[in-house]
Every structure is written in structure tokens, then in C-alpha cells.
Amino acid sequence: MAAHNNLIVHLADAISAYLAGSLDEKLYMEPPEGYDGQGMVCRLLKSLYGLKQSARIWNHKLRGHLIANGYRQLHSDYGLYFNGVVLIAAYVDDMAIAGPKDLKDIKRAKQMLESEFDIKDLGECRQLLGMEVMQGPGVITIRQQGYIEATLREFGLEDCKPVSTPMEPGRKLVPATEQDPRCDREQYQRQTDVENDSHTARPSFCCWPSISI
């Protein structure tokens, strides 16, 4: 949407976001170590990291503040808010703010967020969720070159050559045994996790773990 409307994207991070919300229900916890409160319990008034409700409470707090300041929530994507000029995409405590390139509306959006939350201004979006972001007139390009290269080095595959198929034609597969040193479940799980992250920007990587099996 930002590229289609020729908008520029900035980033902001809500510091200690999960501590910003207040609890509606009554929750109690044991006194922390070092506090002399034998036979007593502490009632939580604010959300804490580790609570199951923390993410929902933070989302409710953020949504309420944005709506109170004239933003509307997109029904097809509840993490996206807009006010006709600025788009705010929220992902947990990270926010991408898209607006006109004169930056006036983006600055106002940041000031609106800072009035309620402790916000770190990250400036123009150059990296988002592990992906490198490059912005140009009417186009936004994402890539994961650094992440992919680091991962290939991790698995000793930095010198591998690209092929049109993920496995040599005609290779016969045989059942693995527990004694086979190539049968490393943790490594395979790590590789498939990386693959799931990588093919977001590079669909051609969706089969790359098979080259080392």
C-alpha cells in the first residue's frame, strides 16, 4: 500500500510495551525474592511480561489510543490503522508508519504515539523483521541477503552452487538410521526454521535445506 501510494515508511518501537497496559481482572503473585512478605501476596495492577494476557492487553491499549486520535482499524487486517493520510502497521511492539514524503504527517503520528507510550524513533525503514528494506519512487524492495549468507555459512554451504532441482536426478533414498552422522534432527529443524523465514523474500529458497541432507 505504501509503494502504491508513493509513501515513505518509518519505524518506531514501543519500549517495554507489555508494561503499558492496566489489568481489568484481579491477578495475584507471590512476592519477589528478597521482599519480606511471608504469608502475603501481591496484586498486579499493570501487565507484566510473561502473563498470558500481556499481548492482548497491549493490543487493546494501542488500539484504543489510535482510535481516540482519529485512526480507523482495517477490518481485513487488524494490525493496520489509517486516518486518510498516514498508515500505521503494528506488529507486537514494532510499528511501521507510512506517510507522505514531506514527513510532516509522519512526525505528527510519532508525536501522537509519544504522548501515550515510551517510543523509540528508528527513522526511515531500512530493516524490518530481519529483512532489508530499500525504498524508491513507487517501489519498496525487500531482501534477506545478509541473513541467508550468514545461514549458509552456519551450515557450511557458502560455496554451494544454484541448481534447478533440489536433489540430483536419479538419487535413491534409503531409510536413515540412528547411527548415521548425517541424521541430525536438531540441525534439520534449524534448517527448516531458517527456510520458513527465508522464503518470505526469496521463494526460490523454499527447498534449499534438502541440499545438505
Domains of the chain, by residue range, sit at: 8-28+42-141, 149-212
Architecture of domain 8-28+42-141 in CATH?
2-Layer Sandwich (3.30)
CA–CA distance from 83 to each of 28, 86, 104, 120 (Å)?
39, 6, 14, 22
Q: What is the pLDDT of residue 197?
A: 63
Start-to-end C-alpha separation, the chain: 40
Rounded Cα distance between 13 and 50, Å, is 19
- Per residue in 16-68, pLDDT (tens digit) is 888 888 888 888 888 888 887 778 888 888 888 888 888 888 999 999 999 99
Q: Choose between 163 and 137: higher pLDDT.
A: 137
Give whichever of 15-19, 64-68, 123-127, 178-182 has the largest mean pLDDT.
64-68
| Mean pLDDT of the chain, nearest integer | 83
**Which among 108, 90, 91 has a CA at the least distance from the CA of 99?**
108
Non-local (6+) Cβ contacts of 103 within 8 A are 8, 10
Q: Choose between 167 and 40: higher pLDDT.
A: 40
Non-local (6+) Cβ contacts of 124 within 8 A are 8, 9, 10, 11, 135
**CB 146 within 8 Å of CB 131:** no
Lowest average pLDDT, out of 95-99, 126-130, 166-170, goes to 166-170
pTM of the model: 0.70
Q: What is the pLDDT of residue 196?
A: 67
pLDDT bin (cut points 50, 70, 90) of residue 209 is very low
Q: What is the pLDDT of residue 200?
A: 55
Q: What is the pLDDT of residue 179?
A: 77
pLDDT bin (cut points 50, 70, 90) of residue 198 is low
According to DSSP, the residues that pair with 73 across neighbouring strands are 81
Rounded Cα distance between 153 and 151, Å, is 5
Rounded Cα distance between 131 and 125, Å, is 10
- Per residue in 65-112, pLDDT (tens digit) is 999 999 999 988 889 999 988 999 998 889 999 999 899 999 999 999
